[in-house]
Structure 1
Amino acid sequence: MHGTSSSVSRNRSAAGLRFIIAAGALALSLGTALAQVAFDAPDSDYQGRVRASAVEQGKPIYSGSEIKVSGQDFKPGQSVTFLRGAQVLGEGPLTADQEGKFEVTFKLPEDAAVGTHPLVLTTAAPYHAEIVELKVSPQVPLSGADKFEVKDNKLVPGLYQSAYSAKSDAVFVTSAVGRPPVKASALVKVNPETLEIVAQVSPGEAPAREDGKEGGLYAVYGVAVDDANDTVWVTNTRQNTVAVYKQSDLSLVKQFEPGAAAHARDVVVDEKGGKAYATASGSPEVVVFDAKTLEPAGVIEIKSGKRGQNFSVGSLKFDADSGKLFTVSMSTDEVAIIDSASGEVEKVIPIKGSRGAIGVAYDGETKRVFVASQGSDNLLIVDTDSGETLHNVLVGAGALNVAFDPVSKHAYVSNRGAGTVTVVDTDGNIVANLENAPFANHVAVDDKGDIFAVNKAQGEDNPANDRISKITPKK
């Protein structure tokens, strides 16, 4: 044993000596190499911006796609190179023109893997380097159309969300067109059988912005119904507030002042508890309102479970049976569960496999949360008891919103980039992938097993623009 031990020690000593010699040689080689590299002044005022898109306008980037990469705000004459690993993409360095712009196209390999690919951008004269991301989306084949009846109708431009009222037996739809100052916006009441417009109102003029520019309309985006008070709640995202309308004739009940809910996105109502909740997107806050007195009733702040990061609320779901609120964080890919009675955050759960979590739904029977993630093109199914992410389902480019139908026990995901609605069961199996319309934006359910999907416009003369679809499983 002693001889063996000495032999091992001698071998280790020799190996250690060889390592020291090799490390010294490497350091000498590296020093020589670095001495030959020109460490010229880096770009201390780098402003460059890069955008990658499919050459076919409005289409996602798929394996085999022709890609257009465009840049702006570079220094005139600056050389730009893109690399994946050590391999240069395209035909070599690009040169920014006199306006600091460039554009190049190249074709992705047919076998390019789905996912987000980090690429290295380097510039010369002056030097800069950074990571830019290229997302390759899944092509989920259409399927299951024979299992559903679908009818649709064109409504008004710029559809955003919809919500069904059992009391009024009506679907309320929001719309807004363009960037501030928004000049065209409407709250629309729709017959759920014929999908025809029953009533329509345009919101009022908003005050001028802080910079003195025109305020436009109090454009409406998120929507929820309160059947206990015969009202419809909407979010006025551009004015950082909310408003309340009557279900019966769409007359304005109350317009809250600008600033009541910063960049309000979604709104939901707890009819039994008499509260309305709006997500202040981009922040960790859910803003609370009294649904009867129509007064502000506090703020719920959500702390991320990830060190040094901030929860950033996206969509919002209220489950009446459990009295729980569910929201997801776009920045940290977490789901938060809030007890509506106490206003306390019960738990914050990390979502594995998610990038850019934005849509959320809940099934009280299985206690599973469904999360649509726009950055990873997938639906994540999370067990709220264990916190485990049970299923990761690729559903299509730009998974944006999700609704759960307790009648069929299926989740419906609107995929904005793919223009589809994917139907998924509670165990993560795709039941159907339905062609919907370009820019499928939102899905909502009624109490009978019907799903209402709305889409936005792609191009001015596309007949599929601005439609509401009613999707009903065949018996």
Structure 2
Amino acid sequence: MAALVTALAHRVCRTTAIGVSLAVGSTLALAGTATAHSGNACGSVVSSVPVAKGLYQTAYSERNHVLWATSSVGEPPVTNSSLVKLDPHTLKVEAMYRPPVVNPKTGAVEAVYGIAVDDEHNTVWTTNTRDNSVGVYSQRTGKRLATLPGVHHAREVVVDEKRDLAWASSFADGSVIAFDTRTFKEKKRVTLAGLSPAGMAVDERTGTAYATDFANDRIIEIAPHAKSPRLIPTGDSPLSIALSKDGQTAYSADQAAGTVSVINLRKGAVIKTVPTGAGAKSVATDPRSGRVLVANRTTATVTVVDPREGTVVDSLTTGANTNHVHVAHGAAFVAAKSGSGPEGQDLLHRFPLGR
């Protein structure tokens, strides 16, 4: 085991812009074997690339084989923000699109934070948190197509391509809102006083949308034909949510507790709680293995969890302020707000996943 870990650690990709020495606890559970990933330009198992300052979230387009990312820097007025288009193998930046200016006097732009891809209509959806809106961009040209207001402190967005819906969390006013992905019109708004919707997920088989209720340690379940939302208890300060491949289990990253909760959705109850690391902020599932990945901001790690056994099977150190984890195309993409690039950029890490 020690020899394999050492071999993998020495195969970390070093870009021409910056040699990134990524500290690795053990890459075995993620990489599976030491075989080089054929799509990676330097033939390495792990790659890390400085992308942009203020890197927030990523989303993968299967239609275009592109990884999209959002970046925004600073407090209002935010003048530095980009929608970033990357090669998912090499993490090379292919294009950067600047959101439109909303205040010519200050230069403030419609800064982008959360992100989701709609391959059905070839668009990218973003949450414009500072401007209390959701944005829609063309994947083909990067042009901003629409700004949809009334999403107060918009946190996350997720797309149900089967039903032509984009669900967004309106953190500041307790709302979860669905927009038509064809017309960009609001289709549904669910508001409950005292709630703080944050992370979003959707089960495309049933059309049920889920949001974490950060302030009240719950999950908000919005089924298509239900008269009212169902509230399901979970861990302390759930910030992010992901679903199992069969849609029967939910996983929440519990920021205050530093845990991931495993929730049986039929029973409406937490069945396992697994410590992952301080500041658990983002969670994603690997549909091939069924394992769960949690990005822990404070401990600067990504934890790999076997949800059936309720155990941690691996942990990787990713650099300071791990912010988001996204699983797609057989890899985990991890955004870390470390500012350790040559010009203060944040790093994006790519870990090929074992089967």
| TM-score normalised by the chain length of structure 2 | 0.84
Kept in 1, the 8 Å contact 2:304–2:312? The answer is: yes
Q: 1:231 to 1:364 in 2, by over 3 A?
A: same
The answer to whether 1:234 aligns with 2:126 is: yes
Q: In structure 2, how many angstroms separate the alpha carbons of the residues matched to 1:222 and 1:473?
A: 24
The answer to whether 1:472 aligns with 2:355 is: no
User: Which among 232, 236, 258 is matched to residue 377 of structure 1?
Assistant: 258
Offset at residue 197 of structure 1 (A) = 0.9
Q: Which residue of 2 aligns with 1:325?
A: 209
Write out aligned runs for 1:2-401 (5 A): 143-147=25-29, 148=31, 149-207=45-103, 214=106, 216-256=108-148, 259-302=149-192, 310-339=194-223, 341-342=224-225, 345-351=228-234, 354-365=235-246, 367-401=248-282
Q: In structure 2, how many angstroms separate the alpha carbons of the residues matched to 1:366 and 1:279?
A: 20
Higher relative contact order (CA 8 A, sep 6+): 2
Q: In structure 2, how many angstroms separate the alpha carbons of the residues matched to 1:192 and 1:145?
A: 19
Offset at residue 260 of structure 1 (A) = 2.2
The answer to whether 1:439 aligns with 2:321 is: yes
Query: Percent identity over the alignment?
Result: 32
Q: In structure 2, how many angstroms separate the alpha carbons of the residues matched to 1:178 and 1:432?
A: 33
Kept in 2, the 8 Å contact 1:163–1:444? The answer is: yes
Q: Which SS does the other structure have where 1:442 is aligned? A: strand
The Cα RMSD (Å) is 2.2
Q: Which residue of 1 aligns with 2:10?
A: none
Kept in 1, the 8 Å contact 2:167–2:209? The answer is: no
Q: 1:390 to 1:467 in 2, by over 3 A?
A: same
Question: Aligned letter for 2:202?
Answer: F
Q: Which SS does the other structure have where 2:262 is aligned? A: strand
Q: Which SS does the other structure have where 2:135 is aligned? A: strand
Q: In structure 2, how many angstroms separate the alpha carbons of the residues matched to 1:235 and 1:313?
A: 13
Q: Which SS does the other structure have where 2:163 is aligned? A: coil
Q: In structure 1, how many angstroms separate the alpha carbons of the residues matched to 2:281 and 2:112?
A: 18
Kept in 1, the 8 Å contact 2:332–2:353? The answer is: no
Offset at residue 251 of structure 1 (A) = 1.4
Q: Which residue of 1 aligns with 2:335?
A: 454
Kept in 2, the 8 Å contact 1:199–1:249? The answer is: no
Question: Aligned letter for 2:348?
Answer: I
Structure 2 alignment gaps of length 5 or more: 1-23, 32-44
Q: Which SS does the other structure have where 2:109 is aligned? A: coil
* 1:307-332 deviation line (CA, Å, top 9, x unaligned): xxx22111101122232211111111
Kept in 2, the 8 Å contact 1:203–1:220? The answer is: yes
Kept in 1, the 8 Å contact 2:340–2:347? The answer is: no
Offset at residue 413 of structure 1 (A) = 0.5
* 1:42-99 deviation line (CA, Å, top 9, x unaligned): xxxxxxxxxxxxxxxxxxxxxxxxxxxxxxxxxxxxxxxxxxxxxxxxxxxxxxxxxx
Q: Which SS does the other structure have where 2:141 is aligned? A: coil
Q: 1:372 to 1:344 in 2, by over 3 A?
A: farther
Question: Aligned letter for 1:285?
Answer: S
* 1:213-248 deviation line (CA, Å, top 9, x unaligned): 847110000100111100000111001001111112
Q: 1:343 to 1:203 in 2, by over 3 A?
A: farther
Q: 1:417 to 1:458 in 2, by over 3 A?
A: farther
Q: Which SS does the other structure have where 1:164 is aligned? A: strand
Q: In structure 2, how many angstroms separate the alpha carbons of the residues matched to 1:238 and 1:319?
A: 28
Kept in 2, the 8 Å contact 1:374–1:398? The answer is: yes
Kept in 2, the 8 Å contact 1:337–1:345? The answer is: no
Q: In structure 2, how many angstroms separate the alpha carbons of the residues matched to 1:473 and 1:457?
A: 23
Kept in 2, the 8 Å contact 1:300–1:344? The answer is: no
* 1:108-130 deviation line (CA, Å, top 9, x unaligned): xxxxxxxxxxxxxxxxxxxxxxx
Q: In structure 2, how many angstroms separate the alpha carbons of the residues matched to 1:437 and 1:345?
A: 42
Offset at residue 345 of structure 1 (A) = 4.3
Kept in 2, the 8 Å contact 1:180–1:215? The answer is: no
Offset at residue 274 of structure 1 (A) = 1.0
Offset at residue 360 of structure 1 (A) = 0.6
Give the length in aligned residue pairs.
Answer: 318
Kept in 1, the 8 Å contact 2:341–2:347? The answer is: no
Q: Which SS does the other structure have where 2:209 is aligned? A: strand
Q: In structure 1, how many angstroms separate the alpha carbons of the residues matched to 2:327 and 2:204?
A: 14
